[in-house]
Structure 1
Amino acid sequence: MVKREMVKRGTVKRGSVKRGMITGALVALLASTFAACGTEPAARSAPEADASPAAASSASSSASPSAKPSASAKPKPKPKPSPTSGPRLFGKSDSGDNVRDLQARLKQIGWYSADVTGFYGNVTTEAVSGFQGKRGIAVTGFVDQTTLDRLYAMTREPTEAELTNAPPPVPEGKLDPRCMSGRVLCIDKSTSVLRWVIGGTVQTSVEVRFGSQELPTREGQFSVFAKSRDHVSTIYKTPMPFAMFFSGGQAVHYSPDFAANGYNGASHGCVNVRDYDAITSLYNQVNVGDGVVVYWS
């Protein structure tokens, strides 16, 4: 009897332990599950059951959404007024020094690429319109005081060369001693200038372009060994008008590409000239056997 009592008590004890372990594990599992669901909403206190009607009404009204606009709401920006123009000073179909000055100044800042003519035509109108639109000025195509003031603030007084479309002066440079006697095409790489020198006196100066780093123009003292007025390169199949050869396939010649694109490019090793009239005159003066000196000053 005593033995069965002990066993029964032991069984109950073991069962209680098991149920207690299961219940505890279930509670822990539920707690961890809900804790992982996300941030809980902020707790809101409900009115007590025995609270007065006024208190309940107050609590209810505080829970209702506010009718006031959010403090973070920003008012819509007011539209900017469209720019207005001032009185017309000059514009399409006008001509004169004012127009010439206008075109030269627009050319300084890249809004006008044609020759300065002094006549206000379609090209000038387009240039002025583009300048006005870029600066937030009323786009009219004609010049008012606002447009003129802004243009003057961005430019300088045009030079005589700019007003008359004259080429810029060729930069001066130091003649190599090897150019001081005889007839020599003296080609200075440091200033990109070719000088035609006779007896130490410069006869003509022209701007030139040279080969790239991969295909450089050779330096040294040479002589003209061949001339070809309408030459075409057998390697690159490109025209080389008024070619005067001085070192292998390298020659002084006219370059349409140099004339069109300037120094935004390079030759295949030749000395390019972009002034057509100058190279024509030079070709007629230079003889086979005349000297060529390519150097850095």
Structure 2
Amino acid sequence: MGDIRRRGAVALGVTALVTPLTLAVTAAPAQAASCTTQAGPYQRQVEGFLGRPVDGKQSTTDCRATQAFQDRHGITPDIGYAGPVTWGVMNLMNKQKAVGNKPNKDGKCPVNKGRIACVNLTLQLSWIQDGGKLVYGPVPVRTGRNGYETRTGSKKIYWRHIDHVSTVYDVPMPYSQFFDGGQAFHSVGLSMWNPPGSHGCVNMTTKDAKKYWSLLRNGDDVFVYGRKPGT
């Protein structure tokens, strides 16, 4: 596949998957909603994730820490309530972090195709491998929401456009690499954990989308499997 394609492993992106579990508590942004005084059904889990005292009781500092997390990832309403959406995002982050540098431990992404981009919808992770060798990642991604699911199966990159703009939604899609109809890898200016998800594309940070652009070419394989939570 050429010397550039065979340069060896790049630095893994595992450490960038999640923010530190101990979150500094700061004043909520001026535009944020008022804090709720009600403890949510996932109060203890959220407190533990945020490094707060785990007592199952909602305090002002608990609420502000939860609210800051919600604002960071676009979770609404951002009232500091420890509900299923907020805990779902946190729980996914925990699962992503647990993967470490072995995203294909279950062997579900093919290792007999050479260079391939893998997408695990269940864990919202993607990586690039060459045979059984990890080349880049795993990195968090944001895939299709309910009704706009990212389609599963074996695919190939067939068109690349670095400055693409969606003709359907009239929004920029930088570093687009299309692999299934209108579905592509591309960067977005959103948190990768921003619910409910994309309109089918595999969203990435600008850093990761640029790296995918440098590592992949037309004709390279893509394999998508699993099921995004909530779809």
TM-score of the two chains, using structure 1 as the length reference: 0.43
- Which residue of the partner structure matches residue 154 of structure 1? 53
Compute the displacement of 1:282 (Å): 1.6
The 3 A distance-change label for structure 1 pair 194 and 106 is closer
Distance 1:245 1:230 in 2: 13
1:184–1:291: 8 Å Cα contact kept in structure 2? yes
Counterpart for residue 171 of structure 2: 238
Q: SS of the counterpart of 1:190?
A: coil
> 3-state SS of the aligned residue for 1:277?
helix
Contact 2:143–2:202 (CA under 8 A) maintained in structure 1: yes
Displacement of 1:263: 3.0
Shift of 1:199: 2.0
1:122 corresponds to: none
Q: In 2, are the aligned partners of 1:170 and 1:207 still within 8 Å (CA)? A: no
Give the structure 2 partner of residue 265 of structure 1: 196
| CA displacement at 1:220 relative to structure 2 | 0.6
* Residue number among 183, 207, 224 corresponding to 2:115 in the alignment: 183
- Find the counterpart in structure 2 of residue 227 from structure 1: 160
* Unaligned ranges ≥5, structure 1: 1-103, 113-125, 128-133, 135-151, 156-166
Matched, 1:248 2:181: yes
Residues 206-240 of structure 1: CA distance to partner in whole angstroms, max 9, x if unpaired?
11111111111100100000111111100000111
For structure 2, list consecutive stretches of 5 or more residues without a partner in the other structure. Answer: 1-19, 29-34, 36-50, 55-92
Higher strand share: 2
Q: Where does 1:1-297 land on structure 2 (aligned, <5 Å)? A: 107=23, 111-112=25-26, 154=53, 169=97, 171=99, 172-173=103-104, 174-205=106-137, 206-258=139-191, 262-274=193-205, 276-296=206-226
Contact residue 115 and residue 130 of structure 2 kept, 8 A: yes
More helix by proportion, 1 or 2? 1
Q: What do you get for the CA RMSD once the two structures are aligned?
A: 2.9
Partner of residue 41, structure 1: none
Q: Provide Cα deviations, 1:55-112, integer angstroms capped at 9, x if missing partner.
A: xxxxxxxxxxxxxxxxxxxxxxxxxxxxxxxxxxxxxxxxxxxxxxxxx78726xx23
Q: Residues of 2 paired with 1:249 and 1:270: CA distance?
A: 8
Q: How far apart are 1:246 and its partner, in Å?
A: 0.3
Distance 1:258 1:210, change over 3 A: same
Q: Relative contact order, CA 8 A, sep 6+: which one is greater?
A: 2
- Shift of the 169–214 alpha-carbon distance from structure 1 to 2, 3 Å rule, reads same
| The structure with more radius of gyration | 1
Q: Structure 1 residues 264, 248: closer, same or farther in 2, change over 3 A? A: same
The corresponding residue for 1:74 is none
Q: Which amino acid aligns with 1:202?
A: L
Distance, in Å, in 1 between the alignment partners of 2:131 and 2:117 is 12
> Is the alpha carbon distance of 1:105 and 1:226 closer, same or farther for their aligned partners in structure 2, counting shifts above 3 Å?
closer
Amino acid at match of 1:279: A
Aligned to 1:53: none
Identity of matched residues, % = 28
Distance 1:153 1:221, change over 3 A: closer
